[in-house]
Amino acid sequence: MPSLKEVRNRIVSVNSTQQITKAMKMVSAAKLRRATEAITQMRPYSKKLTEMIATVSSNADGSDENPYTVVRDIKKVLVIAVTSDRGLCGAFNANVGKTVINLINEKYASQQASGNVEVMAIGKKGSEYLTRRGYIVTNQFAGIYARLSFAAVREAAEEAMKGFENGKYDVVEVVYNQFKNVATQVLTTEQLLPMVEKKSDLLKPSVVDYIFEPSEEEIITELMPKALKLQVYKAVLESNASEHGARMTAMDKATDNAGELIKELKLQYNRSRQAAITKEILEIVGGAEALAAA
């Protein structure tokens, strides 16, 4: 059984840890509000731009000539793993890493066997996780979340787009956590390139009838690169909000666990102290009886 001093020191240590987890929870809550505002404002814009491109592409005769819609035999693959730069957010980063590994093993096993699967890591933790497990991480974009902006994410998107356009990659996939609420993040895998037209019942010619100026082909050429960069930026915003939600939940649970541990340690401390007092009383009584007998 540990001494009273050891138990007392441990109570002080756990109490200090609890104060840290409480502070981290409050910081994550403040950051989460800003992150959710950013992604809430981004979603309608992203959805409308995607619908616009789908509408224009359905009417354009030369849309197949766009370099970002070319479908090739899949020989070389790029997977963009969107994680965080910091830990202490539960299984948030590990889940992305596991999803990337499952995607590669299930969908691109032959390409992986020939060494033609590369990973672009947006976030330090994803790079560390996948590198330790022997996957090829060619590009790492760490520090993006310190000053998160479209300009900061654009470089990563342009790197992937340039690689696809030049034939370095035949397909580009993005894996990230989609923000649902504070306690729930949905692991999402999306194909970034080649860009696939998503035709909807809302985009019937009878419902959507526009006069385009300039031509549909020119609009597609101008909008498609912006839409691709925006898709990557949206994934990073989703991941950012999810990270703060996951950290807030993890720190809340850590605070509760610390409270339970403090209760157990205090109970152990009181029992040890009572045992020590009882022992001293018995020694005194025993000594007194020995003196009386003498």
Active site residues: 89
Where would I find the H helices in 60-123? 92-107, 109-113
Indicate the length of the chain as a whole number. Answer: 294
How far is 292 from 209, CA to CA, in rounded Å?
A: 112
Are 14 and 262 in contact, with CB atoms under 8 Å apart? yes
Can you say whether residue 88 is alpha, beta or left, with left for phi > 0 and alpha for psi between -120 and 50 degrees? left
Tokens 């672009």 appear where? 120
AA letter at 205: P
Q: How many helices (H) and strands (E) does the chain have?
A: 6, 5
Q: Which among 173, 67, 66 is positioned nearest to 111, based on CA atoms? A: 173
